[in-house]
Structures are given as structure tokens and as C-alpha cells.
Amino acid sequence: MTTLFITRHPGAVVWAARRGLNVGRQIAHLDPANIHPGDVVIGTLPVNLAAEVCARGGRFFNLSLDAPPEARGQELSADDLERYGARLEEYIVAKPGRPQGPS
């Protein structure tokens, strides 16, 4: 089992370190082909990639926050993330008609 933190944002990396998250690897972009059953993926992913993580038996934790409109599209610091209530929320994402998890 591997824990991957998918981000290209330095503020998110600092935020995770402050929380003592046990991250095996931090990478900028996810290749879902590298996900194995039991892997944990943390980040903000497009829904199709989150669904692929889940279909491969991984767990997906979204880095959620309540940023105001003027903060969107900006590079946020770890302090900004804390101010906007950054948190990890687990989601189970599946494409209709597709079995979930490993076969």
C-alpha cells in the first residue's frame, strides 16, 4: 500500500507536513495505471481520475476547502489553506454500470 499526494502546489505540501500526513510520495500528476488495491490517493482530481482510483481498489481523499471566489485560481499558502478550512474528505467515485474495486 502506498499513499500518494497529488499536488503541484507548495502550500499544499507544507499544509500536509504541518498535519503530519504520512505521505509515501508527492507527485504533480497521477497516472491511474500505477494505482494498486489498498493505495491511498490524496489531492484534488478530476472526477474521471478519482473514479479510476476507486475502480482500481484505491481510496480517494479529496483536499477540500471553502475558498472564496477571489481566491480561486491563486497560488495558496499553507496559511491560506488553513484559513479556508482545508480538510481531507474521502469519496467513493464510480462510473455507472462499472464494477468498483478489483475484479
Strands (E), 1-102: 3-6, 25-27, 40-43, 59-64, 87-91
- Per-residue burial over 50-85, b = 16 or more CB atoms within 10 Å of its CB, e = otherwise: bbbbbbbebbbbbbebebeeeeeeeebebebbeeee
Find out whether 89 and 65 touch, Cβ atoms under 8 Å.
Answer: no
For residue 100, tell me if it sits in a domain. Answer: no
Q: Which three cell numbers stand for residue 100?
A: 468498483
Query: What's the domain count of the chain?
Result: 1
Q: What is the pLDDT along the chain (103 residues), one digit of tens a residue?
A: 899 999 999 999 999 999 999 888 999 999 999 999 999 999 999 999 999 999 999 999 999 999 999 988 889 999 999 999 999 999 999 988 766 665 5
Q: What is the pLDDT of residue 101?
A: 60
For residue 8, tell me if it sits in a domain. Answer: yes
Domain residues for 30?
Answer: 3-91
Q: What is the pLDDT of residue 95?
A: 85
For residue 99, tell me if it sits in a domain. Answer: no
